[in-house]
Amino acid sequence: MPAILDIVNHAIATSTAIWSDEPVDLASRHAWLEDRRAAGSPVLVAEDDGEVVGFGSYLQFRAWSGYRHAVEHSVYVRDDRRGSGVGSLLIGALLARARADGKQVMIGGIEGRNIASLRLHRRAGFIEVGRMPGIGEKFGRKLDLVFVQKQIVYGAP
């Protein structure tokens, strides 16, 4: 959990991957993990030579029952391992897990200038389905939210 905390706080301090200005503490990360477990949602960790280099998870897209087959995912990779394939491996593993869990659609929300993440998701078969200009703010500038989506399974389970 300390390695996940480091990845999250680095993303908060240096990027627009997480739209928060305040770092989080270890207790909040433990609560986050318990929330995922209680929801039956996976938290996958990528390791290399015993070191955590990234993690990913998903939750139901919205709380209403009509969204039960749609999940929203998050993937974070340690700064020094971005571009090394870790993100692709995590997305692939999350998609496989979602498919096994009977999910039909995976959604992601990406900051509009995060070209690397948008490209990563396109390569994984996600398509852009919506753009919300100027909806967020960080580092003194407006941020665009881009929704991407991948159909995992077509039709009803």
Residue 31, domain member (yes or no): yes
Cα 31 vs. chain centroid, distance in angstroms?
Answer: 17
In a domain, 157, yes or no: no
Residue 68 included in any domain = yes
Q: What is the CATH number of the domain that holds 78?
A: 3.40.630.30
Domain assignment of residue 15, given as a range: 2-151
Asked if the structure places residue 156 within a domain, the reply is no
Q: Is residue 62 part of a domain?
A: yes
Nearest in space to 16 (alpha carbons), one of 118, 95, 90:
118
Under-70 pLDDT residues of the chain: 154-157
Q: What is the dihedral sign for C-alpha 124, 4, 98, 111? A: negative
What distance in Å separates the CA atoms of residue 54 and residue 145, rounded to the nearest whole number?
Answer: 22
pTM over 0.85, yes/no:
yes
Whether 41 is covered by a domain: the verdict is yes
The pLDDT assigned to 156 comes to 46
Say what the pLDDT of residue 157 is.
Answer: 46
> Residue 154: what pLDDT?
61
Instruction: Report how many domains make up the chain.
Output: 1
Is residue 97 situated within a structural domain?
yes
Residue 68: predicted pLDDT? 94
